[in-house]
A = this chain, B = another copy of it.
Amino acid sequence: MRPINVGLLGVGTVGRGTWDLLSRNAGEIRRRAGRAIRVTHVAARSAERARELVGARARVCAHPREVTRAADVDIVVELIGGTDAARELVLDAIAHGKHVVTANKALLALYGNEIFAAAQKRGVMVAFEASVGGGIPIVKALREGLAANRIEWIAGIINGTSNYTLTEMRERGVSFEEALAEAQRLGYAEADPRMDIEGVDAAQKLTILAALAFGIPMQFRRVYSEGIAKLTREDIAYAEELGYRIKLLGITRRAPRGIELRVHPALVPARRLIASVEGVMNAVLVKGDAVGPTLFYGAGAGGQPTASAVVADLLDVTRLITADPEHRVPHLAVQPEHLARTPILPIGEVETSYYLRMRVLDRPGVLADIARILAARRISIGAMVQKEPGAGEKQVDIVMLTHRAREKDVAAAIAAIERLATVVGRVRRIRVEELL
């Protein structure tokens, strides 16, 4: 069979990784696909860098539209990142009948619905395994491997920078700022780390996971997102004392009245496998009604791991390229006419458990006041740690874990507790996820 021709947009870390992998494992890939897959056209911001990479083995185009419109290109691989130019180029490739492979989570979270509709109309595929979890084949697992299940929930460590930072804070006892600086020094965090630290990157990936798990459209703007910048060494130490670790989780769950979609730090029982996922590694825990809990673990970023997913997509598209569109795996797991309109729950309606830490004056009756406020909102306490005050200290930390309660009731209780004259400063609130 004739080789499949690929047009490559972008020669950054992942673009270079993809080029290298297709060259290095060409034999293995051909053995699997039954035909060769080769890059024939390349475009990049710097044509010089592109030329350096590919030499005379592919045509370097001055404009990316030469790639998206080349008559002999079968699949366009979009690895330029960002959303504006990427959106235009992906839509242009689709309009010209090209299949698309992309690693661009921001593009899909924001414009996925538009892109999939265009692809559906034109009868081409858009593959995006590399957009979540780097080389972990989690898109395929959700869309195909676990397709028999009614997915109940997903909880993922899907941002390596945040996880590295939290691991450093716990293992070395350093502050958030110190841990982040170390991540930057090692190249695990960008110069501007806000997308990672504030949970935006994780929210984009969670948008994609939720769509695949529940067969719903992409709804990035409805994700509740809270980052890790406010976490302190004290919280991490108290969590450990209680048998928990703090992780930045992306969580989506089918609740009775809608779907939860939220990114925030959470206490996770230390004995759960996902609690032991450290450093820049990613892991996605999926609970299906038949399979039970399953976990998928691996490198969430980096040129080679991400290229592993890009090339797996190229193999998939190659295999399905001659299939009728209705026999291909649907973009969002379910046939487009069956996408569900299940509402996304506002965060106030979410029920979970909470870690509450407050600093109080060491006086009789303080705890009774706090307990009364919680009880009035039907929030019950599961575990509590109260430290003896140090010599000469007049303030003491109270840490409690609540049973499941509704977020808006907890918020109201916290506001009332903060109004007590015996409570100093703000109450720290971190959600607890038992993941069972």
**Chain A interface residues (CB < 8 Å from chain B):** 1, 17, 21, 24-25, 28-32, 34, 129, 134-137, 140-141, 144-150, 215, 273, 276-277, 288-299, 302, 304-305, 307-312, 314-316, 319-324, 326-330, 333-335, 338
Contacts and interface: CB of A to CB of B under 8 A. Distances in A.
Nearest to A136: B294
B334 A150 contact: no
Nearest to A294: B298
A136 B135 CA distance: 17
Nearest to A285: B297
Contact of A34 (B304, B309, B326): B326
B334 A327 contact: no
Query: Secondary structure at chain A's binding surface: helix, strand, loop or mixed?
Result: mixed
Contacts of A141: 137, 140-141, 145
Nearest to A21: B290
Contacts of A316: 144
Given A276-B273, A294-B298, A289 B25 contact: yes
8 contacts: A31-B335, A32-B335, A141-B141, A148-B315, A289-B304, A295-B296, A320-B323, A323-B327
Shortest 6 CB-CB contacts between residues of A and residues of B: A137-B145, A148-B311, A135-B291, A294-B298, A290-B308, A295-B297
Given A21-B290, A149-B308, A273-B273, 14 more contacts: A28-B149, A28-B150, A135-B288, A137-B144, A147-B315, A148-B314, A148-B315, A288-B308, A290-B308, A291-B309, A293-B298, A296-B297, A319-B327, A319-B329
Contact of A312 (B146, B150, B334): B146
A322 B319 contact: no
A31 B140 contact: no
Nearest to A151: B28
A28 B150 CA distance: 7
Nearest to A282: B294
Contacts of A330: 32, 34
Given A137-B144, A147-B315, A149-B308, A338 B31 contact: yes
A319 B328 contact: yes
Contacts of A140: 137, 140-141, 144-145
A129 to B, nearest CB: 7
Contacts of A129: 145
Nearest to A295: B297
Nearest to A139: B145
Given A31-B335, A32-B330, A215-B31, A292 B148 contact: no
Contact of A145 (B21, B295, B312, B326): B312
Nearest to A316: B144
A79 to B, nearest CB: 15
Nearest to A1: B326
A323 B325 CA distance: 11
A177 B328 CA distance: 51
Contact of A290 (B17, B215, B296): B17
B25 A148 contact: yes
Given A29-B147, A297-B273, A334-B32, A305 B292 contact: yes
B148 A29 contact: yes
A292 B298 contact: yes
A308 B137 contact: no
